[in-house]
Structure 1
């Protein structure tokens, strides 16, 4: 290819850092912020690029349930930088999008990645996704995943489930979403709270096709 054409091609398709894959991770206001933060940590450690979405309620839950005290700034850049440093993200590996950032890649089928996880997923979020509300970027990104027939994993923590919750989960399952409740098992004989969190996160990583060493698969040595 002539040098001029090569330069034009490079300008049209600028080089970016290479990551194993890209996953959209959304956290909402359900209890269980530990699951979402641990998943974020594991995805970054596995060299996965993460596009992160945080609802306002999720930020409150993170502050309430964990020792992760997010910066209290209007600018999401401060929160993004804080989380990137805390979890050792590479340059360009973690991007936080605001709830009204309609020009973000996840808002369109032409830019959204192949996989999205909502962890934890509140009952209100399940309802909004099930009916296609798209009132904020989390709901819109999930709507895009469904319409494009891409992987959508929802991690509800509500207990007990009402008929409304169950109907929404059945509806979403029929649309192609995977419902993966935050229900840790005990056959691995957990000894700590972290072991219980890792059980659910390991299941999520398996669903995403990301190699994990948090939990041996059934039949493998403990």
Structure 2
């Protein structure tokens, strides 16, 4: 590539852009963020503007080496150029953030998703909320799921019952008002699970019945 003349014909430039993009996506599969960055710089040297597809591969390649803070910086650069990674990439990145309890990054990535047909990235976020005991953040994510028309699965409800079934912060035990709020949420979740026709699992029943034993009589 260093031997090529900067002044290249347009058809060749188009082929070069495709070639760079393919190799950068291969870097993502090999988790080689360093080489991917070199290729991005080389593209700029030749006056090639990375496409949305190219940046998508670059984001996934850099994630494994530099972490999520660097990825968010790349996403900001993309936003300035009116580009964004694919929704599937944002979802996978968010799952990774949730697994390491980086809730701010995970939420920021999910906020950028415009379409999602499966609940897995949201479930990962709910599980992280449950781990760090932050049910208030889960409420916001439920609103995001409804906005995107993401259909929950049984894992979603297992996590929701775990989050709101136990009277944790900010629903501290002894605060009657907060207990009433938690009970209202439980009732809304139970109505939601019935609306989707999803059958309770052992874990969802356990998470629901343990803090609210009277619910057992409503379910049998």
TM-score, normalized by length of structure 2?
0.31
- Higher helix proportion (structure 1 or 2): 2
When Rg is computed on C-alpha atoms for both structures, the one with the higher figure is: 2
- Higher strand proportion (structure 1 or 2): 1
Higher relative contact order (CA 8 A, sep 6+): 1
TM-score, normalized by length of structure 1?
0.31
